[in-house]
Amino acid sequence: MQGRVSLLREPPAPIGNAAKYNAPFHFNRKGMRKRRRFEVKMKKYSNFMFVVYLLSFFIFSSEPLYIFAEGQNKEESQDISLSQNQKDKKEQYEQNKQKLVPGPGEVFMNIGEVIVETSSVTVSNVDLPGSVDVIGEDQLRKEITNNSLELLRRIPGFIYRDYGNGGVPNGFTMRGFNSNHGSDNLVTIDGIPINDHFWQEDGAPDFNQLTAEEIENITVIKGPIDAKYGNWARAGIVNIETRKRGDFLKSSLSLGSWGTRKAYVSFGTENFNNKFNQVYSAEYFDTDAWRENSEQKRQNAYAKWYYRPFSGIQLGLQTHVYKADWSTGGYITEEQWKRDPRQAFDSAQDDGGKKELQEISMHLDWNLKKDIPLEARLWYKTNKASRWADWGGGQTEMFTKENVWGALANIGYIKNFGSDSKIKIDSGFDWRHFDSNYQDWQTDARVRTSVNTDDDYIFNNLGVYIKSNYDINKYLRLFAGVRHDFFSGDTTNNLTNEKRDMDNYNVTTYKGGIIGNITERFSIYANIGTTFTLPRKDLKYAENHPDVTDLLFREVGLKANPLDWLLLRYAYFYSDEDVVAFVAGDYVNQGKAIRKGHEIEVNIFPLEGLTIFSSLTLDNSKFDGGPNDGNWVTSVPEYIWNTGMQYDSSFGTGARLWYRDVGKWYTDSSNQYSYKGYRTTDLTVYHTFTEKWTVSLDIKNLFNQKYAEFVGFWSGSNQYMSSNPRGYYITLKYNM
């Protein structure tokens, strides 16, 4: 590994006058030592221009999709028939898609227009008896983001925690869970879970590895209400579906404040009478960033192939590679933030990280019979990452290399008893094997000097489940599920060759729910579910380790469509979880964390093309018992209010205004320290011309508020990760 790191180092400074050009360090205007990035800048420019050239080639070359699909040039007369053939194939493909809108007995809410394939995972999620939100592609395409996790800001009750580290999983809060690196939420992409075992946090999902433009829709299930999902799903589940079908060419170029540049191109073809299709995509992103020492860059590339040998069966193969390199300004104290929020932490001039990821997956969707669908996935993922950080006692490197193998399958059965009565049963399993190596090094300017830790970890998880929806009649649906998870593993200390087995954990969880249709316009729902948390990271392998903690979740709600132009949903949620602390050499119970609150969402459609959206979450998450009895759970805002409006004219011009008000939260468990919250407004204006081109202007933080999306507490003070002031981004998109 030492040899690998040496490749990342700048060459030593030459002797003589050339040193001023090639020295690995220079001193900025504040007298801080800083790594030179001339070579990186050149690579950033080259990579960016490569994607631009690739994008231009596909847009301006003659009939690129058909050249690729057919492998030969066409005469002018044949172009007309091919164009008609493209339309026929598109119409046939569109027949397999449907528009999702909440109807009678369905309590999900859609944000924007949601179009999905009839066999989509999203379709099976929206019949759950709980608070489910679906963001459609039309909303996703109207925003430029640095990170795909930012798209979830549209979800009611969701808070994004930007850590300012380009390849480090960011945190987010939902339903009272202040998830460190997002680790309380199970995240899937095209049905495959992406949560890591050891990179930064046990169960952290890294949204940095996902290109926002690649997403077709996002479904957020709030609460552990679905037996299909087990470990890391105590706050909820985020299911993401990417673009996998169609004859299209999509591209975008974005330029923005602080040297932000983003290029994306994706094209797909449907071949052999729609029996075979392929999709290829690439993304390049870089930014100098507003804060000092906060440069970021990343690249993503995707290739997807799907084959349908006969009706009712689809075979797929997907590949993905990702690479990121970043610097970070680190966290600064409250006093420093008030004085200059742009400044970097004094010792952070060499902090940052690198990450690489490669993955491949096989997909099977098969209707064994008309009412017996089978879904199966098989995948392999490998990634390695380093994070350099100086927390005040000298720089260290946290290095993780992880290989993941996984498989899952779900088989369903649907039995109709009449026009208004049916039962749907799903059963299946999921299996994941994590092989992780974690190293901790003392470093000097990213150069390793001595090793502190070098451990291998094996972690296995097998889950089996069965769940059922039973529509007794058109007024009542019952839901029930049960799941059992098996966990095993071992660890090896590579410095001492000591090996230790992990205690085997076996956990059973239960789910139940009901939807009652009062009328076609009013539905009530309720659910209850149990879930768990294993000891975090290396604590699972310790001889003296904490027990599994249990969590009970409950929710009741109402969905109403009293008028054609008004749709609303109200929910009350409640969960309680054991709190365990290490006291006097042992783990002891210190009461419970009670997370409860109210949430209301409203969609109004007053005029053709105009949509008004608003949501309010009131949270009252506190500790019950123990030394923090009555105190607020840390990092959970007292309220979250989102409101916005969007107008799309008949002549292609549109605009969207979005306002967010996040209330006060406490940063330490004693509630002696807090942050007042923040208010931001974003504006997007766009115009589509010639049906294929769209130009948009995004203004983030329209009123230039000074704020921080992440404020935590350690080292005796609030620690801030500053958020950006007003920023401008212009984007040109092409869609054929």
> DSSP strand E in 2-48: where?
25-27, 33-35
What is the tens place of the pLDDT at every residue in 610-636? 999 999 999 999 999 999 999 999 999
Please indicate, yes or no, if residue 357 is contained in any of the structural domains. Answer: no
Please indicate, yes or no, if residue 55 is contained in any of the structural domains. Answer: no
What is d(CA 295, CA 324) in angstroms, rounded to the nearest whole number?
11
* Total-model pTM: 0.87
Question: In sequence order, what are the residues at sequence separation of 6 or more whose Cβ sits closer than 8 angstroms to the Cβ of residue 43?
Answer: none
Question: Average pLDDT of the chain?
Answer: 86
pLDDT of residue 121: 58
Q: Is the pLDDT of residue 243 over 90?
A: yes
- Which tokens belong to 521? 């316009």
Q: Are 243 and 266 in contact (CB under 8 A)?
A: yes
Please indicate, yes or no, if residue 563 is contained in any of the structural domains. Answer: no
Q: Is the pLDDT of residue 338 over 80?
A: yes
Q: Fill in the amino acid letter for 617.
A: T
Please indicate, yes or no, if residue 617 is contained in any of the structural domains. Answer: no
Please indicate, yes or no, if residue 15 is contained in any of the structural domains. Answer: yes
Mean pLDDT, residues 645-671 taken together: 95
How far is Cα of residue 609 from the mean position of the Cα atoms in its chain?
29
pLDDT of residue 125: 67
Q: Are 530 and 552 in contact (CB under 8 A)?
A: yes
Q: Is the pLDDT of residue 28 over 60?
A: no
User: Higher confidence at residue 553 or residue 36?
Assistant: 553
Please indicate, yes or no, if residue 306 is contained in any of the structural domains. Answer: no
Q: Are 365 and 375 in contact (CB under 8 A)?
A: yes
What is the tens place of the pLDDT at every residue in 44-64? 444 554 454 455 444 444 333
Parallel/antiparallel/unpaired status of strands 132-135 and 109-111: parallel
Please indicate, yes or no, if residue 16 is contained in any of the structural domains. Answer: yes
List the domain range (segments joined by +) for residue 10: 2-27
What total of structural domains would you count in the chain?
1
Give SS3 for 86.
helix
What is the tens place of the pLDDT at every residue in 188-218? 999 999 999 988 889 999 999 999 999 999 9
